[in-house]
Amino acid sequence: MPHIPRRVKACIPWLAAVLCAGLLELPFPIAGPLPFGRAVFAWFGLVPLLCAILSKDAIRHRHPLRHAFLISYLCGFLWYTGNCYWVRDTMAKYGDLPAVVPVLLLIGFSLVLGLYFGFFGLALALVRQRTGSTRIALAAAPFFWVALELAAARITSVPWDQLGYSQIDNALVNQLAPWTGVYGISFLLVAVNALMAGGFVIDRCPPRPFWQSPKPWGIAGVLLMMAGACGLFVTPSHPTPTASAVLIQPNLDVSGDNKWSGPGEWEQHIAGFNHLAGEQCKSFINGIPQTEAPVVVPQCPSPAANPHADVIVWPESPAPFDESDPRFESALASIAQSAHAAVIVGNIGWTRDAQTEEWNYFNSALVVGSDGARVGRYDKIHLVPFGEYIPFANLLRFAHKLTGRVSRFSRGDGAKVFRLATTKDGAHRFGVFICYESVFADEVRHFAQLGAEVLVNISDDGWYGDTSAPWQHLNMARMRAVENRRWLLRDTNNGITAVIDPYGIVRESIPRHQEDALPAQFAFRDDVTFYTAHGDVFVWLCAALSVVALVVALKSRKPARSRD
């Protein structure tokens, strides 16, 4: 074997971190919908990093723990910078910021979240050092990874593109989601990566029996990867829709003046709303937009025989829909009565605080029955930091000066379910959540737990432009349908507006960036999955075992001798 110069050898772990970051970018959308087959990179993309952390050279490093942390931190920083590059684009276009600030914000964002990768590498190196066993460190890898994904969701509140989302189109692997949520899929992927890495880093000397050698690890990893990847070719169940909705896509310019205060402007827009609400039958995309999904032209019944929709949905959008405006209430009642359908509309809601007597306003979804009467209102619980509120506002006073577009919304007080009359078989329960809330699995499940028979997600993804974010956001919302085995009606301002079945398949959608409506077919379900009922039991178990492993490792007074 040729001699490798020491300087070159020292660079290999850092190059492995860069390679790993690149490989882990590929199983997620980058600038459009994820091409078929690219999800397979998640099954082995973590191998270079694991090898860099647990190789003989890494173990013999003068500062192995610091070395492992920094290598992993570099990987995490690069991954977040690539996966979430849309942060810079969004802030540059809509943030009213000096040119350099969006770049600095993306760097700061990635430096903070990249720490999770750093802690992952540090934990593995610590266990390896204190136990003297690479096998034990590799076995602990999926537990540490899932525990850190939980931390990302609960501490920094950015569980964006967790590893398990990469398999949203894998019908075989997705069967874990109703039991463990997306975290179980992440666990499986990291476990397979660890097995494959074991084939490279487990010590081959002294000679060992076959079952104690690194070969079984590598072989098992490859076989599991091949079996798991086969799920991309599995066709899931195809449930039959029994109800209908109209999802309106207004395509309003998020950077424009949407006050509708000109002569006749309000009336013109409301007339357009009313027209789109009446769309009962038209062509749609049988899948995700901007893919090779076919366009379906249904056989439409005669107007006399065409049944009314069960619900009409208007998304979160920059429309001037405010509960304090009497025209808004009147327009909703008129549309609901003329369409003989319930209406769900994104709007600004107001509530007076009984103690301070101050008015708080909310990013809300107002629900009106088919008779035009108000049914209730859901107020968004999980607000977007620096978009809908400024965290630690008293400390970060400078943030108010960075941009005038940051809203000052208050948080809602909990999940709500609305019982609405339908055209065929009585009343059914709807759960509505708004935009960014779709990335929080444990929060969305509460709607189904409270009895929602269908989920409705209203969102304004116009802020993301033509970056990766709308496609990433769609895939995360699709996972919520899988975890809870519910149909999901996803209505957006400018796309991706779609109907998602309980297996995460986009059944109907319409093109992005155009004013349109999607007459959507769906169904109601009232069965409850394990994840809906019990939430993150699996991930908390992983977190507890991770803590135990770290405590045991830290209590060891000195590094153990290598046992493999």
If asked whether residues 337 and 202 sit together in one domain, one would say no
Q: Give the separation between CA 11 and CA 251, rounded to whole angstroms.
A: 49
Residue 451 resides in a domain: yes
Residues in the chain, how many?
564
Q: Is 178 helix (H, G, I), strand (E, B) or coil?
A: helix
Residue 305's CB is within 10 A of a number of other CB atoms, namely 7
Specify the residue for token string 């398990």.
164
If asked whether residues 205 and 284 sit together in one domain, one would say no
Q: Give the separation between CA 340 and CA 76, rounded to whole angstroms.
A: 52
CB-based contact 253:262 (threshold 8 Å): no
To 5 degrees, how large is the angle CA 418–CA 424–CA 425? 65
Residue 402 resides in a domain: no
Residue 408 resides in a domain: no
CATH for 356? 3.60.110.10
If asked whether residues 305 and 372 sit together in one domain, one would say yes
If asked whether residues 286 and 329 sit together in one domain, one would say yes
For the chain, give the mean pLDDT.
Answer: 88
Edge-to-edge, what's the strand order for the sheet holding 311-314?
A: 374-379, 359-368, 342-352, 311-314, 243-249, 516-522
Which position has the higher pLDDT, 271 or 407?
Answer: 271
For β-strands 243-249 and 311-314, DSSP reports them as: parallel
Mean pLDDT score, 340-348: 93
Measured in degrees and rounded to the nearest 5, phi and psi for residue 88 equal -65, -45
* Nearest partner of 34 among 520, 478, 475, judged by Cα: 475
Question: What local confidence, expressed as pLDDT, does residue 183 receive?
Answer: 97
Question: What local confidence, expressed as pLDDT, does residue 395 receive?
Answer: 47
Where residue 558 falls among pLDDT bands split at 50, 70, 90? low
CB-based contact 477:490 (threshold 8 Å): yes
Edge-to-edge, what's the strand order for the sheet holding 417-421?
A: 295-296, 284-285, 506-509, 498-500, 488-492, 454-459, 427-434, 417-421
Q: Give the separation between CA 499 and CA 493, rounded to whole angstroms.
A: 15
> Which tokens go with 518?
């999607």
CB-based contact 483:538 (threshold 8 Å): no
Q: Give the separation between CA 436 and CA 473, rounded to whole angstroms.
A: 8
Which position has the higher pLDDT, 244 or 355?
Answer: 244
Does pLDDT of 392 surpass 70?
no
Where residue 133 falls among pLDDT bands split at 50, 70, 90? confident
Residue 531 resides in a domain: no
Where residue 493 falls among pLDDT bands split at 50, 70, 90? very high
* Residue 504, CB-side half-sphere exposure with 13 Å CA sphere: 29
Mean pLDDT score, 495-506: 95
* Nearest partner of 73 among 121, 36, 41, judged by Cα: 121
Q: Give the separation between CA 481 and CA 444, rounded to whole angstroms.
A: 10
Residue 31 resides in a domain: yes
pLDDT in tens, 288-328: 999 989 999 888 776 655 678 899 999 999 888 998 889 99
Question: What local confidence, expressed as pLDDT, does residue 94 receive?
Answer: 76
Out of 3-12, 273-282, 484-493, give the one with best mean pLDDT.
Answer: 484-493
CB-based contact 115:76 (threshold 8 Å): yes
Question: What local confidence, expressed as pLDDT, does residue 397 receive?
Answer: 46
If asked whether residues 303 and 172 sit together in one domain, one would say no
If asked whether residues 156 and 287 sit together in one domain, one would say no
Question: What local confidence, expressed as pLDDT, does residue 443 receive?
Answer: 95
Question: What local confidence, expressed as pLDDT, does residue 401 receive?
Answer: 44
Range of the structural domain that residue 306 is part of: 243-252+279-381+414-522
Find the farthest-apart pair of alpha carbons in the chain and give their distance in angstroms, rounded.
Answer: 87
Question: What local confidence, expressed as pLDDT, does residue 553 receive?
Answer: 87
If asked whether residues 434 and 551 sit together in one domain, one would say no
DSSP string, 101-147: HHHHHHHHHHHHHTHHHHHHHHHHHHHHHHH--HHHHHHHHHHHHHH
CB-based contact 445:483 (threshold 8 Å): yes
Does pLDDT of 418 surpass 60?
yes
Question: What local confidence, expressed as pLDDT, does residue 175 receive?
Answer: 95
Give Cα separations from 184 to 29, 163, 187, 348, 375 (angstroms).
21, 10, 5, 37, 37
Q: Give the separation between CA 182 and CA 538, rounded to whole angstroms.
A: 10
pLDDT in tens, 162-208: 999 999 999 999 999 999 999 999 999 999 999 999 888 876 545 55
- Split into its structural domains, the chain has a count of 2
Question: What local confidence, expressed as pLDDT, does residue 1 receive?
Answer: 46
Residue 274 resides in a domain: no
pLDDT in tens, 22-73: 999 999 999 899 999 999 999 999 999 999 999 887 788 788 899 999 999 9
CB-based contact 284:246 (threshold 8 Å): no
* Residue 443, CB-side half-sphere exposure with 13 Å CA sphere: 24
Question: What local confidence, expressed as pLDDT, does residue 235 receive?
Answer: 86
Q: Give the separation between CA 486 and CA 125, rounded to whole angstroms.
A: 41
Q: Considering the entire predicted model, what is its pTM?
A: 0.92
Q: Give the separation between CA 375 and CA 1, rounded to whole angstroms.
A: 75
Mean pLDDT score, 485-498: 95
If asked whether residues 124 and 193 sit together in one domain, one would say yes
If asked whether residues 306 and 331 sit together in one domain, one would say yes
Does pLDDT of 145 surpass 80?
yes
Count Cβ neighbours within 10 Å for each residue of 523-557 and write b for 16 or more, e otherwise.
Answer: bbbeebbebbeebbebbeebbeebeebbeebeeee
Residue 266 resides in a domain: no
Where residue 482 falls among pLDDT bands split at 50, 70, 90? very high
Which position has the higher pLDDT, 557 or 295?
Answer: 295
If asked whether residues 23 and 132 sit together in one domain, one would say yes
Specify the residue for token string 């070719």.
233
Residue 267 resides in a domain: no
If asked whether residues 507 and 546 sit together in one domain, one would say no
Mean pLDDT score, 467-472: 93
* Nearest partner of 520 among 338, 237, 251, 279, judged by Cα: 279
If asked whether residues 166 and 96 sit together in one domain, one would say yes
To 5 degrees, how large is the angle CA 200–CA 204–CA 206? 165
- Please, is 399 exposed, middle or buried when counting C-beta atoms within 10 Å of its C-beta (0-12, 13-18, 19+)? middle
